[in-house]
Amino acid sequence: MTMKKLIAGNWKMNGGLAANEVLLRALLAQIGAPAADVAVCAPAPYLAQLQSLLQGGPVAWGSQDVSAHEQGAYTGEVSVAMLRDFGCRYAIVGHSERRQYHGETDAVVAAKAQRALAGGVTPIVCVGEMLAEREAGQTEAVVKRQLAAVIHAVAHCTSEIVVAYEPVWAIGTGKTATPEQAQQVHAVLRAQLAAATAHPERVRILYGGSMNAANAASLLAQPDIDGGLIGGASLKAPDFLQIVAAAH
Ligand code: PGA
């Protein structure tokens, strides 16, 4: 059985009630019955809006982060139970912007992934090297270290995660990894998953980093690229829909 591809939008800190509604209604009007699974990951305050507009339709939704803690005195945090209350299927975990600007370590990211899974939300675990790391020949070592922490934490549930390979130098820069560059890293991640789970083919490994309507098809044609995590292009309905259409 081959898994359906997953196309997930990462709105980041963009949007608003009015703009979200326009975007979501445009998606719903034109998406039809997509071959791929489709989701949008919105800022937490809009999860209720996503639930009311997307419930029962072809577009799932998720958050961009989740607390590593179950509940309690963690001001500003959002728990997995809260995400479940609003119907989230996915939570992005360990996005490079959270690693860079919010000090999230591999251990924190692993704890978040574990908490999400335990609470019934699929973590989309982001890994990826910075430009200096790529130039120093450390790409494989970096992504393997990042994924190893998560595999160690989630153990026998490894086949239930989603992984997103997002080279940091490609995020929001318009510099996409070539399909060959991306495939090379995805193959490394697949091999690492194969050592940890009997069903590595069930783990979707998304590519993220300036994926757009023009380059999606060639990236998604790679054997180990099982979908995309889409930032900028997920804010424009026609672009996001073209990426969804390229995923089959
Ligand atoms: P981008 O962002 O598509 O705008 O490069 C991807 C991401 O950060 O998830």
Give the confidence band of 2 by pLDDT, cuts at 50, 70, 90: low
Catalytic residues: 95, 166
Tell me how far the alpha carbon of residue 41 lies from the centroid of ligand 1, in angstroms.
12
Q: Which of 60, 28, 94 is nearest to 241 (CA)?
A: 28
Pick the residue whose CA is nearest to atom 6 on ligand 1. 231
Report the pocket of ligand 1 as residue ranges, CB < 6 Å. Answer: 10, 166, 171-172, 208-211, 229-233
Q: Which fold has domain 6-246?
A: TIM Barrel (3.20.20)
Q: Which of 136, 135, 225, 240 is nearest to 180 (CA)?
A: 225
- Positive or negative, the CA dihedral 140, 142, 143, 145 is positive
240 residue type, one letter:
F
Tell me how far the alpha carbon of residue 196 lies from the centroid of ligand 1, in angstroms.
28
Per-residue pLDDT of 80-89, as tens digits, reads 999 999 999 9
Question: Taking all residues of the chain, what is their mean pLDDT, rounded to a whole number?
Answer: 97
62 residue type, one letter:
G
Please answer whether residues 113 and 82 qualify as being in contact, where contact means their C-beta atoms are separated by less than 8 angstroms.
Answer: no
Q: What is the C-alpha separation between 188 and 193, in angstroms, rounded?
A: 9
Placement of tokens 């790529």 in the chain: 134
Tell me how far the alpha carbon of residue 208 lies from the centroid of ligand 1, in angstroms.
6
Kindly report the pTM of this predicted structure: 0.98
Per-residue pLDDT of 139-182, as tens digits, reads 999 999 999 999 999 999 999 999 999 999 999 998 899 999 99
User: Does 93 score more than 90 pLDDT?
Assistant: yes
Q: Looking at residue 31, what is its pLDDT?
A: 98
Mean pLDDT throughout 3-30? 98
Per-residue pLDDT of 215-232, as tens digits, reads 999 999 999 999 999 999
Q: Where are the domains of the chain?
A: 6-246
Q: List C-alpha distances in Å: 126 to 33, 112, 210.
A: 27, 12, 15
Pick the residue whose CA is nearest to atom 9 on ligand 1. 231
In percent, the amount of the chain with pLDDT more than 70 equals 99
Pick the residue whose CA is nearest to atom 1 on ligand 1. 231
> 122 — phi, psi (to 5°)?
-80, 120
3-state secondary structure of 91: strand
User: Does 97 score more than 90 pLDDT?
Assistant: yes
